[in-house]
Amino acid sequence: MKFLVFIFITVFIHSLGFSQGSQWVQDSLPIYEKNFQRQLESGDLEKAKKVISEILDKGEESLDPAFFDFYHKAIQDPLTAKSPGILGNLYSGLATLEFYRGDIKAAKNSFTSAKSIYIREGIKKDAAGMAMNLGVLHERLGNYDSALTNYREAIPIFESLDDAKSLANVYENIGLTNYMLSEFNSALQNYNKTDSLLNSYLDSMDVRWIGFYMNKSSVLSELNRDDEGLAILLKGLRIAEKNQHEFLIHRLNSRLSDVYEFQGETEKQYKSLLKSKSFFDKSQNRSEIANLDYKMARYQYQHGSMDSALYYAEKSFQYYEENGLSNRMGMVLNMMGNMEFSKNSYEKALQFYQQSLAYLKNEKNQSYAGFLFNMGYAFHKVGNNTEALDYIEKSLAISTELNDLQAIRNSYQGLYETYQSKGDYKNAFDFLTLFHVYEDSIFNETKNRNLAELETQYETEKKDQAILELEQEKEIQGLRAQKQQAQINMGIGGLILFIVVAGLFFRLAQIRKRHNVTLEYKNKEIAKQNGERELLLKEIHHRVKNNLQIISSLLSMQTRGLQDDKVKDAMKESQSRVKTMALIHEKLYQYENLSKINMQEYMRQLSDFLTQTYRSDKDIHINIVAEEINLDMDLAIPIGLITNELLSNSLKYAFEDMSFGEIDIIFEQSEPGTYTLLVKDTGKGLDENLDIEKTKSLGLKLVRTLTRQIEGELKISSKNGAAFEIQFKDLRMAA
């Protein structure tokens, strides 16, 4: 369900875990409070901030009321008012604890106070962090436009600070909001930006990846790429287990229950739910408990346990109502309406649906279309056919726009039944016809597959019967032959001969059986070795990528200490070349196919990375038109390096005297095995005297050398900007 995604609160709010903290509250918290007061009185504000941070870390673990008391008292302290930076940190810390305790409104008020203080004092990064956190809270409350406004407010600040970590958080949260608005392709684009930024600084086994994988898996599920979503969730679970992070392990179990529900694996779904719920029920994280109560209600409803479903639904609704989470209140009320509908209590169902209508937003997604259908069908059941038609037709319009065949089929069935009740048999017949058309289109493939299986089974049985008849005929002929031989006094010799032949065949059968067993064992060993080699190859690609990432990070660190702009540019170029190769290895260990690279996705990530590396205040748009082409590593690496050099060259030099421009990257296949790469810009163009064979530019030398390496043909044009076109063939395919 949409609201069960992992919201990443950025900058100041850390991942939450639970421990036995009551003893710490009694023994250590008073000491920390006195230490904070002492640092405040002495004016040592940095140490005071450190004490606040340490108290917050412990407070996140237990959410004991004593921590809230500390923050409230400290905020009211007159000494704190004289130190705005300290006061901002206190409001931020209090908001963090309120968020994890589940008091969304209190968290919003405290984050707003912190943001106002940071803006007034000119503390830009912290102000941007508070804007991010407020965006998360607005998203939780269903105020998506306000959420996007806050997120976008933070982007230019983080870009000016070259803060890749915070930018990754911004784009991930924008992706979450796109997801809530059912803008799934936009969400995936923002997640790809997040992926590139995280890869620029993060280790592959860092727990930060887990929340990202959870969010991305939700979008992949909506795009019918559930296998990919499940794969990255399991990858996140391995990271959580390696880091022994109990909170995230159980958060992942909650998310996995959704995937198992979709796949129909109810036993795994229930097991994951119980693991997660038993953990969070011991905590004070009311938000997570409420979400799990809703999931448990949905599970019990789907399995016919209505009393249990109603119990959990009412528990979750109480929390959502207390915190003004209107969209979630609407979802719970809708499910309670479904419970009454399943009991044929249509009037009660309508009451719940009508209450739900006041909270659910009019969104063009499958969930809202389903809600409208349920409401319309309930009106039909109570005899209000006019209202029924209105709601079912609205549901049909959304389902048609989404091309949801099953929902369209259900809507046509509802319209058929409603028109039939009205006595409008012409419309009833028309919609019944449409219902059967969609019924056939949905189940046609399944029926064909079942028929094919039955036909195969029939043919197999027929062949078995023919073999049996032949064997019986052979046996009869053998008996006749024996009788003949007995009549001519050769029965004994024939019998001996038969025994010898039978023994020979038996011996051959035994030898063949042993040979088949040996062959089966060897095949299993070969399959096992292939699997081990595949894992080893993935690990090699993973380690190569990590080593290249380390080199890239070292180059980045060394660049920061340089003063000479030319040397810094050279270091950045080297860093981008290393990153180009690292992306190749990253893709190879992420994909099931260990030898092919999806160039469309690769070029988009390379473009995002270079835009981040050569960031400027100019309005430069990069347009990528790339077909779904997969190249092996021997071609992907030189093509990637060529693209890196040409795109870097355009970003650095093409628009020196211009405030805006465009760069096009086009990669297409003109015929099987023949490809064209075109990189062009609308900049100032190339030097008229440029000779690619004699150029001193290292980048252009690389382009020339790599083009020769792949036996390609390079064409250069300088009309309305610079254009580089490279045509090459995959010689192995051509052969």
Give the separation between CA 409 and CA 612, rounded to whole angstroms. 47
Rounded to the nearest 5°, which phi and psi values hold at 620? -115, 120
pLDDT tens-place string over residues 333-359: 988 988 988 888 889 888 988 888 888
Mean pLDDT of 659-663: 88
3-state class (DSSP) for residue 598: strand
**Per-residue pLDDT at 653 exceeds 80:** yes
Q: Six-digit token pair at 378?
A: 């309930």
3-state class (DSSP) for residue 10: coil
151-155, 455-459, 494-498: least confidently modelled range: 455-459
64-78, 452-466, 525-539: least confidently modelled range: 452-466
Give the separation between CA 395 and CA 366, rounded to whole angstroms. 9
pLDDT score of 10: 35
CB atoms within 10 A of CB 96: 24
Axis-axis angle for helices 633-649, 698-709 (nearest 10): 150
- Binning pLDDT at 50, 70 and 90, where does residue 451 land? very low
**Per-residue pLDDT at 476 exceeds 50:** yes
User: Which range, 108-117, 437-446, 542-551, is most confident?
Assistant: 108-117
pLDDT tens-place string over residues 565-609: 777 777 777 777 777 777 666 765 565 555 677 888 888 888 887
CB 133 within 8 A of CB 12: yes
How far lies 397's CA from each of 16, 182, 378, 435, 634, in Å?
42, 16, 18, 15, 49
Give the separation between CA 399 and CA 410, rounded to whole angstroms. 10
**Per-residue pLDDT at 679 exceeds 90:** yes
pLDDT score of 531: 57
In degrees, to the nearest 5, what angle opens at C-alpha 228 toward C-alphas 224 and 232?
135
Give the start-end residues of each E strand in 376-459: none
pLDDT tens-place string over residues 158-191: 899 899 999 999 999 999 899 888 788 999 999 9
CB 135 within 8 A of CB 151: yes
The DSSP secondary structure of 666-701, one letter per residue, reads EEEEEETTEEEEEEEESSS---TT--TTT---HHHH
CB 614 within 8 A of CB 651: yes
Beta-sheet strand order (sheet of 723-729) = 619-626, 660-671, 674-681, 723-729, 713-717
Rounded to the nearest 5°, which phi and psi values hold at 113? -60, -45
| Bridge partners of residue 726, in order along the sequence | 677, 714
pTM tops 0.85: no
Give the separation between CA 127 and CA 562, rounded to whole angstroms. 30
How far lies 202's CA from each of 209, 238, 491, 574, in Å?
9, 17, 87, 19
Q: Six-digit token pair at 301?
A: 């409803």
In degrees, to the nearest 5, what angle opens at C-alpha 679 toward C-alphas 673 and 684?
160
| Bridge partners of residue 180, in order along the sequence | none
pLDDT score of 16: 31
pLDDT tens-place string over residues 259-281: 777 777 888 888 888 888 888 88
- Binning pLDDT at 50, 70 and 90, where does residue 727 land? very high
For 468, which DSSP code? H
Instruction: Annotate 363-395 with three-state secondary structure.
Output: CCCHHHHHHHHHHHHHHHHCCCHHHHHHHHHHH
170-184, 283-297, 467-481: least confidently modelled range: 467-481
Give the separation between CA 297 and CA 291, rounded to whole angstroms. 10
Axis-axis angle for helices 164-180, 144-160 (nearest 10): 160
Q: Six-digit token pair at 612?
A: 């981040």
CB atoms within 10 A of CB 92: 26
Identity of residue 318: Q
pLDDT score of 532: 55
Tell me the average pLDDT of the chain: 79
CB 562 within 8 A of CB 571: yes
How far lies 503's CA from each of 458, 485, 490, 509, 724, in Å?
35, 20, 20, 10, 77
**Per-residue pLDDT at 516 exceeds 80:** no
124-128, 423-427, 514-518: least confidently modelled range: 514-518
650: enclosing H helix or E strand: none
Q: Six-digit token pair at 186?
A: 């936009």
63-72, 212-221, 503-512: least confidently modelled range: 503-512
Q: Which of 325, 438, 413 is nearest to 1 (CA)?
A: 325
- Cα radius of gyration rounded to whole Å, the chain: 34
User: Between the CA atoms of 127, 129, 135 and 141, what dihedral angle is there, to the nearest 10 degrees?
Assistant: -100
Give the separation between CA 338 and CA 301, rounded to whole angstroms. 9
- Binning pLDDT at 50, 70 and 90, where does residue 634 land? confident
**Per-residue pLDDT at 518 exceeds 80:** no
3-state class (DSSP) for residue 723: strand
Mean pLDDT of 610-615: 77
CB atoms within 10 A of CB 304: 9
Instruction: Annotate 240-270 with three-state secondary structure.
Output: HHHCCCHHHHHHHHHHHHHHHHHHCCHHHHH
Rounded to the nearest 5°, which phi and psi values hold at 349? -60, -45
CB atoms within 10 A of CB 60: 22
The more confidently predicted of residues 659 and 495 is 659
169-178, 208-217, 690-699: least confidently modelled range: 690-699
Q: Is 467 exposed, middle or buried (0-12, 13-18, 19+ CB in 10 A)?
A: exposed
CA 295, 296, 299, 301 torsion-angle sign? negative
**Per-residue pLDDT at 241 exceeds 80:** yes
30-34, 380-384, 476-480, 492-496: least confidently modelled range: 476-480
190-208 per-residue burial string, b: 16 or more CB within 10 A, e: under 16: bbbbbbbbbbbebebeebb
The fraction of the chain above a pLDDT of 90, given in percent, is: 10
Q: Which of 646, 653, 644, 603 is nearest to 625 (CA)?
A: 603
pLDDT score of 362: 64
Mean pLDDT of 669-696: 84
